Amino acid sequence: MRVLTVNAGSSSLKLRLLDDDEQVASHDVQRWRGEVEPIRDFFHEHGAQAVGHRVVHGGPKVLGPAVLDEPLLRYLTSLTDLAPLHQARALDGLRATSQCAPDTPAVVCVDTAFHTTLPEAAGTYALPKEWNRHWSLRRYGFHGLSHGYASRRGAELAGVAGGRVLSCHLGAGASLAAVRDGRCVDTTMGFTPDEGLVMATRSGSIDPGLLGWLVTSGKVEPDELFTTLQKRSGLAGLTGGSGDLRDVLAARADCDLDAELAYDVYAHSLLRHAGAMVAAMGGLDLLVFTGGVGEHQPPLRADLAGNLGFLGVEVDPDRNTATGSDADISSDSAAVRTVVVESREDVEIARQTREVLTRPAR
């Protein structure tokens, strides 16, 4: 089955046509604002038997891939304020594709579905139970399509069957997933994609008392606070400039003290959360790096691996420096394997789309 995958980011659009797992055509739009034309032109040129869409938030009702229909579209629209940077763009992709190919079956693949296996203790906030129940407050987790693919592909590369996998999706947005025997048992993002690691422009986890103080003391208006936490914090906030780790590393090499502190905060956040994920699994058999930063920043990989050395993690310096994707970078003597996996959410989206559309009718 030839599947067109539509992956709309906060400002970009990635279109991929897959025949089984082989990519036969692709097109990227770096600055996409919901226009129909790129999708229409790609579909008319290449065609597809089905369309699979990445959607960030599925809320408490969408627990796996599902065929798109009007009620589902309305429900996903109602979740937009929970992931405003991504949900609206994904919905633009859904509507544009439906307009271009109204007779082609479409499947929604949600990032949150991978984390539905979280134990209640890991997924529940310590808030009044009536709040949790009434407003469906819980830790949903994100980047699930990436974590699902990377943990499986990483195990193949390392020759590890099942076991305890720490999946590190590191990009402008970043999260970790603790995957034990193929099931996610903990993750760093929560009710929204803002919890967890320090990211490019997002602060990650912050003391709620600090946030309350900023608002109640009149220092910051609520709207400004949330905008700042999402778009002006993280690496960008600490440097006062770029949130791109490449720029931070370059400035750090030039002895920029703000960049040095920003990198140290970023790396410490990664280490702290990695330790929590390993503890949740009861140990570690495989460390996986994926995403733009995970695939292309050997210094960060080396730093995290070195700090996890007490667990048996050790990377080979030459392999680590030479590798960009799909390779084992472990030292020969390492007890825990470390691999780099090219982010292929398109493969996971296509797999889930085929699974839904070929499922026997009940």
In this predicted structure, the answer to whether residue 87 has a pLDDT above a threshold of 80 is: yes
Whether residue 95 is found in the same domain as residue 199: no
> Do 182 and 327 fall within a single domain?
yes
- The whole domain housing 221 covers 159-340
The secondary structure of 220-266, three-state, reads CCHHHHHHHHHHCCHHHHHHCCCCCHHHHHHHHHCCCHHHHHHHHHH
Burial label for 106, CB within 10 Å (0-12, 13-18, 19+), is buried
Q: Are residues 171 and 99 part of one domain?
A: no
Q: Which of 54, 89, 117 is the last residue of a domain?
A: 117
Contact present, 140 and 115 (Cβ < 8 Å): yes
Tell whether 147 is covered by a domain: no
Residue whose token pair is 């602060």: 203
**Which structure tokens are listed for 342?**
């090219």
Per-residue pLDDT, averaged over 261-290, amounts to 98
Mean pLDDT, range 205-232, rounded to an integer = 96
- Residue 323: pLDDT band (50, 70, 90) is confident
In angstroms, the CA 346 to CA 362 distance is: 28
Provide the 8-state DSSP code for 330.
B
**Is 34 a domain residue?**
yes
Is 110 found in the same domain as 182? no
Give the list of residues 6+ apart from residue 281 with CB closer than 8 angstroms, or none: 164, 166, 178, 179, 180, 185, 186
Query: Which helix (H) or strand (E) is 179 found in, with range?
Result: strand 174-180
The number of CA neighbours under 13 Å toward the Cβ of 338 is: 29
Look at residue 304 and tell me if it is in a domain: yes
- Residue 274 included in any domain: yes
- The contacts of residue 356 (CB under 8 Å, 6+ apart) are 65, 66, 67, 107
Q: Give CA angle at 260 (256, 261), nearest 5°.
A: 120
> Does 231 lie in the same domain as 91?
no
pLDDT band with cut points at 50, 70 and 90 for residue 324: confident
Residue 359 covered by a domain: no
Task: Name the pairing type of β-strands 2-8 and 13-19.
Answer: antiparallel
Same domain, 31 and 108: yes
Specify whether 186 is catalytic: no
CA–CA separation, 295 vs 115, rounded Å?
Answer: 23
Query: Is residue 38 one of the residues assigned to a domain?
Result: yes
Tell me the pLDDT of the chain averaged across its residues: 95
Q: Is the pLDDT of residue 11 over 90?
A: no
Rounded to an integer, the average pLDDT of 299-320 is: 98
Query: Are both 112 and 173 inside the same structural domain?
Result: no
Tokens coding 75:
């429900």
Place 362 in a pLDDT band, splitting at 50, 70 and 90.
low
Average confidence (pLDDT) over 229-236:
96
Over 80: is that where the pLDDT of 174 sits? yes
Checking if the pLDDT of 10 tops 80, the result is no
How is residue 330 written in tokens? 């472990």
Tell me: pLDDT of 177 over 90: yes
- Based on the fold, state whether residues 165 and 60 are members of the same structural domain: no
* pLDDT(216) > 80: yes
Residue of 111, 186, 194, 328 with catalytic role: 111
Domain end, chosen from 61, 96, 117, is at 117
pLDDT at 15: 97
Residue 7: inside a domain? yes
pLDDT at 322 over 70: yes
Per-residue pLDDT reduced to its tens digit, 109-141: 999 999 999 999 999 999 999 999 999 999 999
The band of 360, judged by pLDDT with boundaries at 50, 70 and 90, is confident
Cα separation, 95 vs 88, whole angstroms: 11
Do 164 and 56 belong to one domain? no
> For the chain, how many structural domains are there in total?
2
Among 266, 83, 80, 241, smallest CA distance to 168 is for: 266
Percent of the chain with pLDDT strictly greater than 70: 99
Both 177 and 308 in one domain: the answer is yes
pLDDT at 20 over 70: yes
pLDDT score recorded for residue 84: 82
Average pLDDT over residues 233-252: 97
Let me know if residue 29 belongs to a domain. Answer: yes
Half-sphere exposure of 63 (CA within 13 A, CB side): 5
Q: Which of 172, 22, 178, 170 is nearest to 114 (CA)?
A: 178
Do 184 and 289 share a domain, yes or no? yes
Q: What is the CATH number of the domain that holds 263?
A: 3.30.420.40
Instruction: Write b or e for each residue in 207-226: b if 16 or more Cβ atoms lie within 10 A of its Cβ, otherwise e.
Output: eeeebeebeeeeeeeeeeee
pLDDT over 90, % of the chain: 91
In this structure, the answer to whether residues 185 and 246 fall within a common structural domain is: yes
Angle between helices 345-357 and 144-158 (to 10 degrees): 100
Does pTM surpass 0.85?
A: yes
